[in-house]
């Protein structure tokens, strides 16, 4: 149960939670909009006072958050390290295919964004599957399955049964960034923590991990522009 606050023409979604003991203010990565989480019976005027007390932080975060966008005809993007220009080609029957630096997308224009998204997901799934097996062989661990998901809070995840998952938006990042995240998750199959032993395992698979981590810190928000 929730509603919204409107403060200085900015809409802040209000989320009430029974188990919340305090108030939290954040920018939702999926919607690029502010959200305040409050205890279930907290009055709205208390939530508004809390938001106003963090107003400078909130407006600064909104300035730093890129607006949401969709894939468009003639847009230039990077797919697994390859720069391509999207070309809507309704006469083709290719679905989505890269040829000579052009990502041709067939079908109705209304489906272009979804087709490009599905294409990137498939490319990431195939690449991550191959790379994960390569890293797993070097680490002496077993990868059971690799999935690609629409996540906003983490770039990758790993379960104890050998299932790895990656955010599809990593397909828009430089390839060395995706390689690092794959190495990171494969290393969790050896060390399910972030201990020194874990980071040593990551560095063994991917020595230049600091460069990739810095890129994600500096540019990660840009990847979340795309829904």
Answer yes or no: do 83 and 59 share one domain: no
Phi/psi of residue 67, each to 5°? Answer: -65, 150
In a domain, 69, yes or no: no
Q: Are 87 and 53 in contact (CB under 8 A)?
A: no
CA distance 75 to 186: 33
pTM exceeds cut of 0.85: no
Answer yes or no: do 131 and 200 share one domain: yes
Q: What is the pLDDT of residues 37-61, one digit of tens each?
A: 999 999 999 999 999 999 999 999 9
DSSP state of 68: P
Answer yes or no: do 55 and 167 share one domain: no
* For residues 18-26, average pLDDT: 94
Answer yes or no: do 55 and 161 share one domain: no
Selection from 47, 4, 44 nearest residue 22 by Cα: 47
pLDDT reading at 1 higher than 50: no
Selection from 86, 70, 97, 78 nearest residue 227 by Cα: 70
Give the CATH number for residue 211.
3.30.2010.10
Domain holding 216, by residue range, is 76-223
Total of domains in the chain: 2
For the chain, give percent helix, strand, coil, nearest 5.
Answer: 40, 25, 35
Answer yes or no: do 191 and 96 share one domain: yes
In a domain, 71, yes or no: no
Domain boundary among 37, 64, 91: 64
Selection from 7, 76, 61 nearest residue 29 by Cα: 61
pLDDT reading at 204 higher than 60: yes
Answer yes or no: do 47 and 82 share one domain: no
CA distance 81 to 103: 14
Average pLDDT value for the chain: 94
* For residues 168-177, average pLDDT: 97
Answer yes or no: do 54 and 80 share one domain: no
Domain boundary among 14, 29, 64: 64
Answer yes or no: do 44 and 144 share one domain: no
Answer yes or no: do 116 and 35 share one domain: no
In a domain, 19, yes or no: yes
Confidence of residue 2 (pLDDT cuts 50, 70, 90): low
């Amino acid at each position: 149960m929730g509603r919204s606050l409107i403060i200085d023409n900015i809409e802040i979604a209000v989320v009430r939670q029974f188990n919340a003991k305090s108030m939290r203010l954040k920018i939702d990565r999926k919607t690029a909009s502010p959200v305040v989480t409050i205890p279930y019976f907290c009055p709205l005027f208390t939530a508004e006072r809390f938001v106003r007390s963090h107003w400078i932080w909130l407006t600064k975060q909104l300035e730093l958050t890129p607006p949401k966008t969709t894939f468009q005809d003639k847009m230039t993007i990077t797919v697994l390290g390859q720069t391509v220009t999207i070309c809507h080609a309704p006469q083709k029957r290719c679905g989505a295919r890269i040829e000579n630096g052009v990502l041709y997308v067939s079908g109705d224009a209304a489906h272009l964004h979804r087709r490009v998204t599905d294409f990137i997901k498939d490319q990431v799934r195939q690449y991550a599957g191959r790379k994960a097996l390569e890293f797993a062989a070097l680490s002496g661990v077993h990868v059971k399955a690799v999935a690609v998901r629409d996540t906003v809070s983490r770039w990758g995840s790993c379960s104890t049964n050998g299932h790895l998952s990656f955010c599809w938006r990593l397909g828009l990042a430089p390839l060395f960034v995706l390689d690092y995240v794959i190495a990171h998750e494969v290393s969790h199959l050896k060390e399910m923590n972030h201990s020194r032993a874990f980071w040593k395992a990551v560095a063994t698979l991917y020595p230049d991990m600091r460069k990739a981590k810095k890129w994600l810190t500096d540019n990660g928000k840009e990847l979340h522009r795309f829904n």
